[in-house]
Structure 1
Amino acid sequence: MLNEATTTNVGGIRTSCLDRKQLALLVGEICQNYTPDQSAFLIFSSNGQAISLAGSDPAYLELMNNVDLVHADGQSVVTLSRWFSERPIAERSATTDMIHDIPVHYTPTLKHFFLGGLKDVVEQAAKIYSDTYANAEIVGIRDGYFSAADELNILEEINQSGADVLWVGLGKPKEQEFCIRHKDRLKVPVVISCGGCYNFLTGHYKRAPEWVQNNGLEWVHRMVLNPRKLFWRYLITNPHTIYLAYKNRYRGDRDTESKKVLFLLKTFSKGGGVERVSANLATSLKAQGYDPEFYVFFSKEEDISQLRQDWPVTLVEPGRKSPLKLIGEFLRFRRHVKNNHIGVVISSKETANLISLIALMFLPRVMKLFTRHCAFDVSDQKLAPRSIKALYCMYALTRSRIVTVSEDLAHQIKAFLPYNRNKVVARANPIIDERIFTLAEESAPIQGDYLCAVGRLCEQKGFDLLLDAYKQALTIQPALPKLVIVGEGDDRAALEKQAADLGLTDKVIFYGFTPNPYAIIKHAKLFVMSSRHEGLPTALVEAIALGVPVVSSDCETGPRELLDNGRYGGLAPNQNPTALAQAIVDNLTTPIAPEAEAVSKYRYADAADAYIKLFGERMA
């Protein structure tokens, strides 16, 4: 059933085309197949008010487009989909109908928790609902009048109730914000935002006669009953909603059905983090029925030999090229995208982003995702931060998305963009799959206890800082385990010399590149990350997933967000070897146990789903 959840763009919000029965059965199917390690499946509603609010508030638009499913609560959404969208929605699926459709169409018993509304209203609604439907068991109720300080206790009450479906009626946008904020904490299969649904159950709000509903005029009925509240809302939001639907109309110019995804890279270096993440995302999209391929500029054939074994690769050989030849390569790339009906181009690093921007100009049918994997003040990049920020201002003018690997990085970009901030979204990298756990079970190639660090040997990764910190840590605790550094890079010779100068030749092992770093990480006493800057540290995610205690520099974007301010691992001030040394000693003495919850969104399937939600969007 979930594969049938086709969506269409109505007013900028991706809205489900499922009919009422399909939606009810989908809820039942999700509850039936739910396992405790899964995040809650969020279902929000869209109507004229929601579309207008999303058009006025970029944060609300992002919230609506990051949810698992949005259904057409208002008849206006159905009508506008017929006028302006690529796929019409068959029928309205009002929340006030859905709450009845679920027990009618899905006969096994489901447990429900009602949250929101006035205390006497929600109590009465719960009683009426359980008395009406024998297969609807109410396991908890809570009114909607609580403070932020009460939320953790409410979450505990919901999780302890064993509910299958949580109904949240706090009003827009409060109920959506509550659901998104606690999605990973809620141990409930399905969460549905329901507005004033309880008042309709109790009869405090009256539904329009059926003939009025069938003709899409229930909003008029509601306005007549409550003109003071609703007349001005409809007078303002209805024209705005129609304008937004027209603005985001389907123009027949994007190949939304294309399953072809092209990854565009400037180069492909063995062991590179961005390259590894791109390959991971290709694998996870392939599992969802997509057809990935790679287009690599300026790399040698030997660099992509492994990549070519797994994926179709188009290679532009390196070498100095005249401006005329570069233009020719850009045109060749454009023809490739056009002639092969590529639906989505995901570019990584600024050269690739710029190639995508220029070469694919005036190809609006192609969804372009410009990705950013690291902070802006990066020492080894050729462009100055000011120039890179100017590029992102240009990306924001296109009908595409800017995708970052962490929320912190997304906030940084939004802070300097003067417009279209809603085009910036954070998406988790696909890092965790069963393969890393299988490989981690192989015998560790290093004997005895050791600390572990993994990454490309370059200035960004801060291994010079790590060697200084390790030397200082040995003065605090002479019996410290040896240090194993896994990875290759241009700085290897300099780092080996530094280790020798510090008298660490017998204590530090430069292991080099290995296709299986996971067995080394898994058996380490402690994983240490010393980066000067990151976007999202992949190896840190892998170490937490493998259950290894971690210590990280508190560099800009990534580690603090990932470790939840130190909840899941040690943090040391950035570029401070003395503080990092102390953190290493402290976390060896009293390690912070990592939790799988910290990295659940980095699973292949979850990360792929998050990207797929972007593929069908058309940005204005």
Structure 2
Amino acid sequence: MPAAEPLERADVFGFPVVAGTMDQLIAHLITTAETLDRPILIAAADAHVVTRGVRQQEYGNHLDTFDIICPDGMPVVWKLKRQPTRNAPHRLSGPDIMSELWDKGQPSPHIRHYLLGGSEQTLATLREKLLARYPGAQLAGSYSPPFGTWDETIQQNILQRIAESGATCIWVGLGCPKQETWLASMRHRLPAALYFAVGAAFDFHAGTVRRAPLWIQKRGLEWLYRLCREPRRLFKRYFTYNSLFLWYTLTGRKHSPAATPPQPH
């Protein structure tokens, strides 16, 4: 099998973020899935994720262990565009990566999906809608884990379910920062597969949360759209981290890795 074409990356607050197109990313992921020999962690990083990584050292160290960090949010894309890159940076959001890989990964026998996260009701709706939209896709399994802290019994149960499913694409919708923290801390125990931290993608695709229209997304105002729909839950997050994104951009502050991270795949 040919090796996956390397992805170009550029610095965003000290994190190597992918600079390229969705087609380049999906082609890379499909090729990588054919030769998996270890877990590959993929994060969809918006302004909230990258600024949290700077503000909270431990969370930033978790992001350092991810093999691929995608620009999920126009402010991150705009910051990438201020740097010299061979490829024009595009927004690579969690929900869009999910749609594209479910669609374009269908011909490959190596693309088998697993859904981890969300409520039983959300997962049931999500399974139904994804399989109706992508009838040739392979769904190897799904699991709605308990809310709250997971003890070793729950952890082992999750790992066993993933391993027995034979899935190669694990979609993790636990919300930030839990999903990135869990994947990073469990990396040494995870079966070989692609692991995607995709946050609200489950709710968007299931239709339980309405996504902003495309014209709002392209103008970098999806956060405002979501804030208007869920002000009590999202006000503190967006006020804090959007403000920090501007401050870090002006001051040049970056995340300082505690140790040398793994070589990007």
> What range describes the TM-score normalised by the shorter chain of this pair?
0.7 to 0.9
Q: Where does 1:226-237 land on structure 2 (aligned, <5 Å)?
A: 226-237=230-241
Q: 1:184 aligns to what SS in structure 2?
A: helix
Paired with 1:423 and 1:75, the residues of 2 have a C-alpha distance of: 25
Q: Residue 215 in 1 paired to residue 204 in 2?
A: no
Q: Residue 206 in 1 paired to residue 210 in 2?
A: yes
**Cα deviation code 1:504-524 (max 9, x no counterpart):** xxxxxxxxxxxxxxxxxxxxx
Partner of 1:424: 258
Alignment-mate amino acid for residue 35 of structure 2? N
Q: Residue 185 in 1 paired to residue 189 in 2?
A: yes
Say whether the 8 Å CA contact 2:74–2:218 is kept in structure 1: no
Deviation at 1:426, TM superposition (A): 5.5
Say whether the 8 Å CA contact 1:78–1:89 is kept in structure 2: no
Partner of 1:50: 49
Paired with 1:246 and 1:138, the residues of 2 have a C-alpha distance of: 45
Paired with 1:245 and 1:14, the residues of 2 have a C-alpha distance of: 16
Paired with 1:426 and 1:247, the residues of 2 have a C-alpha distance of: 24
Say whether the 8 Å CA contact 1:112–1:139 is kept in structure 2: yes
Alignment-mate amino acid for residue 258 of structure 2? V
Paired with 1:424 and 1:215, the residues of 2 have a C-alpha distance of: 35
**Cα deviation code 1:422-468 (max 9, x no counterpart):** 543156xxxxxxxxxxxxxxxxxxxxxxxxxxxxxxxxxxxxxxxxx
Partner of 1:153: 157
Q: 1:4 aligns to what SS in structure 2?
A: coil
Say whether the 8 Å CA contact 2:47–2:241 is kept in structure 1: yes
Alignment-mate amino acid for residue 174 of structure 1? K
Deviation at 1:69, TM superposition (A): 0.5
Deviation at 1:216, TM superposition (A): 2.3
Q: 2:187 aligns to what SS in structure 1?
A: coil
**Cα deviation code 1:266-302 (max 9, x no counterpart):** xxxxxxxxxxxxxxxxxxxxxxxxxxxxxxxxxxxxx
Partner of 1:8: 10
**Cα deviation code 1:352-404 (max 9, x no counterpart):** xxxxxxxxxxxxxxxxxxxxxxxxxxxxxxxxxxxxxxxxxxxxxxx9xxxxx
**Cα deviation code 1:471-492 (max 9, x no counterpart):** xxxxxxxxxxxxxxxxxxxxxx
Say whether the 8 Å CA contact 1:52–1:241 is kept in structure 2: yes
Q: 2:188 aligns to what SS in structure 1?
A: coil
Pair member with larger Rg: 1
CA RMSD of aligned residues (A): 2.2
5+ residue gaps, structure 1: 250-398, 400-419, 428-609, 614-620
Deviation at 1:61, TM superposition (A): 1.1
- Over the matched positions of the two proteins, sequence identity in percent amounts to 23
Q: 1:42 aligns to what SS in structure 2?
A: strand
The alignment's TM-score, normalised by the length of structure 2, stands at 0.88
5+ residue gaps, structure 2: none
Deviation at 1:134, TM superposition (A): 2.2
Q: Where does 1:124-523 land on structure 2 (aligned, <5 Å)?
A: 124-145=125-146, 147-149=150-152, 150-248=154-252, 422-425=256-259
Q: Residue 119 in 1 paired to residue 123 in 2?
A: no
Paired with 1:423 and 1:105, the residues of 2 have a C-alpha distance of: 35
Q: Where does 1:64-83 land on structure 2 (aligned, <5 Å)?
A: 64-83=63-82
Deviation at 1:218, TM superposition (A): 1.6
Paired with 1:15 and 1:75, the residues of 2 have a C-alpha distance of: 13
Paired with 2:41 and 2:11, the residues of 1 have a C-alpha distance of: 18
Partner of 1:314: none
Deviation at 1:50, TM superposition (A): 0.7
CA separation of 1:246 and 1:89: change in aligned 2, threshold 3 A: farther
Q: 2:63 aligns to what SS in structure 1?
A: helix
CA separation of 1:52 and 1:247: change in aligned 2, threshold 3 A: same
Partner of 2:27: 25
Paired with 1:192 and 1:222, the residues of 2 have a C-alpha distance of: 22
CA separation of 1:62 and 1:236: change in aligned 2, threshold 3 A: same
Q: 1:33 aligns to what SS in structure 2?
A: coil
Say which structure, 1 or 2, has more relative contact order (CA 8 Å, 6+ apart). Answer: 2
**Cα deviation code 1:499-555 (max 9, x no counterpart):** xxxxxxxxxxxxxxxxxxxxxxxxxxxxxxxxxxxxxxxxxxxxxxxxxxxxxxxxx
Task: Work out the number of aligned pairs and report it.
Answer: 256
**Cα deviation code 1:71-106 (max 9, x no counterpart):** 0111111012224x4438521111111111113333
Say whether the 8 Å CA contact 2:106–2:137 is kept in structure 1: no
Paired with 1:231 and 1:181, the residues of 2 have a C-alpha distance of: 29
Partner of 1:357: none
Paired with 2:143 and 2:248, the residues of 1 have a C-alpha distance of: 36
